[in-house]
């Protein structure tokens, strides 16, 4: 429960995930050591797929260096830092995500479904009420949809939540004979993602959060914080406030094999909240200030 609470506190899925298109993260075969090169290559490759909004930045990215700026018209523009070097700095600042079991996968799914478009406190109240009202998840699936209204009311949008949750748990029960997702632990990533995305109310971010937190898969669940911060870092140049499938795929492909993706996910969200919000970034107080190209920001250099 503590971990679930923190998951939501980090804003992992406090948005309308139904807005997200499907996505599948990929990972390279590189080792951690060569992962930096792979990540940088991935960044450059990804950039060729999308329109660059700032020409100078484009040239800086093509320079493909992580710490040396390129002087363009008197302005020093840094290239995108590698995934491992960003991750290392963030772990020093915030620490790694604890390597411990998250408990039953179904609990992760329910939690993340309830955590969309509400506060952490309201999500937790609804989750606790749901657990108190029913002795197990099969009971929830067997209950009438209306019986879920009361427990889910604190989270808001309770009718829609009840409908999606009831339908999702029923679909799981039909598929596995019980409301359990433990079978997914033996499934390959792509099949896990496909099945989760087939469930009512489950979008890309919820699916990836379940895979990441619940199944310990190296999948980067991309929320709006990560989407914004990674764009400023130069890891992608996809536009818009909402992560796209292509964008999530691109970011997922930057993760080196064997990489601690979950810690990076959590720490990027922490950074997004602490130093790099959607408004004016506080680069002077940011641990990435010396290596971040600060793309799309103005006058934020420390
Ligand atoms: S706060 Fe500034 S330095 Fe830090 S990630 Fe955001 S744009 Fe980069």
Is the model's pLDDT at 110 over the cut of 80?
yes
Ligand 1, from 78, 269, 292: best to mutate by most atoms within 8 Å of Cβ? 292
107 and 175 fall within a common domain:
yes
70 and 107 fall within a common domain:
no
pLDDT score at 77: 59
136 and 179 fall within a common domain:
yes
Residue 124 within a domain: yes
pLDDT digits 0-9 by tens, 79-89: 999 999 999 99
190 and 264 fall within a common domain:
no
CA of 273 to the centre of ligand 1 (A): 11
Residue 276 within a domain: yes
pLDDT score at 143: 97
112 and 173 fall within a common domain:
yes
Alpha helices (H) in the chain, listed in sequence order: 2-9, 32-47, 55-63, 83-94, 105-114, 120-133, 137-142, 149-152, 158-176, 189-198, 204-209, 224-233, 245-253, 261-274
Residue 302 within a domain: no
Residue given tokens 């804003």 in the structure block: 11
Q: Taking residues 226-234, what's their average pLDDT?
A: 97
Query: Exposed, middle or buried, 190 (CB in 10 Å: 0-12/13-18/19+)?
Result: exposed
CA of 268 to the centre of ligand 1 (A): 11
Nearest atom, ligand 1, residue 295 CA: 7
Instruction: Please give the C-alpha separations between residue 285 and each of 145, 235, 298, in angstroms, as whole numbers.
Output: 48, 21, 16
Is the model's pLDDT at 299 over the cut of 70?
no
Q: Are 266 and 37 in contact (CB under 8 A)?
A: no
**In the structure, what pLDDT confidence band is assigned to residue 258 with cuts at 50, 70 and 90?**
very high
Residue 40 within a domain: yes
Residue 109 within a domain: yes
197 and 273 fall within a common domain:
no
pLDDT score at 63: 36
Out of 193, 214, 235, a domain closes at 214
| pTM of the full structure | 0.77
DSSP for 163-208 reads HHHHHHHHHHHHHHSSS--GGGGGS-HHHHHHHHHHSTT--HHHHH
pLDDT score at 10: 52
111 and 209 fall within a common domain:
yes
CA of 108 to the centre of ligand 1 (A): 31
108 and 210 fall within a common domain:
yes
112 and 201 fall within a common domain:
yes
Number of domains in the chain: 2
For the Cβ of 295 lying below 6 angstroms from any atom of ligand 1, the answer is no
What DSSP state is assigned to residue 285?
G
Residue 27 within a domain: no
72 and 127 fall within a common domain:
no
Nearest partner of 3 among 152, 104, 129, judged by Cα: 104
Domain interval for residue 110: 103-214
CA 86 from centre of chain: 16
The CATH number of the domain where 209 resides is what? 1.10.340.30
Q: Taking residues 105-111, what's their average pLDDT?
A: 97
229 and 264 fall within a common domain:
yes
Nearest atom, ligand 1, residue 293 CA: 8
Ligand 1, from 94, 234, 300: best to mutate by most atoms within 8 Å of Cβ? 300
**In the structure, what pLDDT confidence band is assigned to residue 78 with cuts at 50, 70 and 90?**
confident
Rounded Cα distance between 140 and 165, Å, is 9
pLDDT score at 112: 95
Which residue's CA is the nearest one to ligand 1's atom 6?
276
Ligand 1, from 230, 279, 294, 298: best to mutate by most atoms within 8 Å of Cβ? 294
Mean pLDDT rounded to a whole number for the chain: 79
Residue 226 within a domain: yes
**In the structure, what pLDDT confidence band is assigned to residue 99 with cuts at 50, 70 and 90?**
confident
pLDDT digits 0-9 by tens, 151-205: 999 999 999 999 999 999 999 999 999 999 999 999 999 999 999 999 999 999 9
**In the structure, what pLDDT confidence band is assigned to residue 270 with cuts at 50, 70 and 90?**
very high
């Amino acid at each position: 429960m503590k971990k679930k609470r923190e998951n939501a506190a980090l804003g992992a899925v406090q948005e309308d995930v139904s807005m997200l298109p499907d996505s599948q993260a990929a990972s390279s075969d590189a080792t951690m050591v060569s992962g930096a090169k792979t990540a940088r290559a991935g960044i450059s490759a990804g950039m060729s797929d999308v329109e660059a909004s700032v020409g100078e930045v484009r040239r800086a990215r093509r320079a493909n260096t992580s710490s040396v700026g390129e002087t363009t018209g008197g302005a020093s523009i840094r290239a995108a830092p590698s995934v491992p070097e960003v991750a290392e700095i963030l772990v020093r600042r915030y620490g790694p995500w604890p390597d411990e079991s998250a408990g039953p996968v179904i609990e992760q799914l329910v939690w993340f479904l309830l955590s969309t478009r509400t506060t952490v406190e309201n999500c937790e109240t609804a989750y606790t009420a749901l657990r108190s009202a029913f002795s197990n998840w099969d009971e929830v699936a067997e209950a009438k949809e209306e019986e879920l209204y009361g427990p889910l009311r604190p989270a808001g949008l309770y009718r829609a939540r009840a409908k999606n949750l009831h339908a999702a748990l029923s679909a799981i029960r039909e598929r596995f004979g019980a409301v359990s997702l433990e079978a997914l632990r033996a499934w390959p990533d792509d099949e896990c993602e496909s099945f989760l995305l087939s469930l009512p109310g489950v979008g890309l971010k919820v699916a990836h959060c379940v895979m990441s937190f619940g199944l310990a898969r190296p999948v980067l669940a991309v929320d709006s914080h990560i989407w914004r911060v990674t764009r400023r870092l130069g890891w992608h140049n996809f536009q818009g406030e909402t992560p796209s499938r292509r964008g999530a795929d691109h970011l997922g492909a930057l993760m080196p094999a064997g990489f601690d993706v979950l810690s990076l996910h959590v720490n990027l969200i922490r950074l997004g909240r602490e130093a790099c919000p959607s408004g004016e970034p506080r680069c002077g107080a940011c641990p990435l200030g010396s290596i971040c190209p600060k793309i799309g920001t103005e006058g934020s250099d420390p």
